[in-house]
Amino acid sequence: MAERRVNVGWAEGLHARPASIFVRAATATGVPVTIAKADGSPVNAASMLAVLGLGAQGGEEIVLAADAEGADVALDRLAKLVAEGLEELPETV
């Protein structure tokens, strides 16, 4: 199982627009990814309701995980997106 721990780079956390950006990016990877707070249970990263339900705040640590072919590349890209508070999934890491 590949895993990345990263702090949320969006000041407002994973709410509304940033959550939407993240969910679209997670879906676009084509890899089943989970997201969790550092001390919480993982949820489907491609589910808007699940991601909003985390209540992840800006600066808070989250854990991204996947166990499929291409997981490392997908997690690296998603981690960069979250850490830097980007508006879209980076083409490369």
pLDDT at 93: 61
| Residues belonging to the active site | 15
Tell me the residue ranges of DSSP E strands in 8-93.
33-37, 43-44, 61-66
**pLDDT tens digits, one per residue of 60-88:** 999 999 999 999 999 999 999 999 999 88
Domain that holds residue 38: 2-84
Whether 93 is covered by a domain: the verdict is no
User: Which pLDDT score is estimated for 29?
Assistant: 95
Looking at the structure of the chain, the number of domains it has is 1
The CATH number assigned to the domain holding 7 equals 3.30.1340.10
- Residue 65 sits at φ, ψ, to 5 deg, of -145, 150
Structure tokens at 65: 């995980």
Q: Establish if 92 belongs to a structural domain.
A: no
pTM attached to this predicted model:
0.94
Contact by Cβ (8 Å): 5, 75: no
pLDDT digits (tens, 9 = 90+) for 42-59: 999 999 999 999 999 999
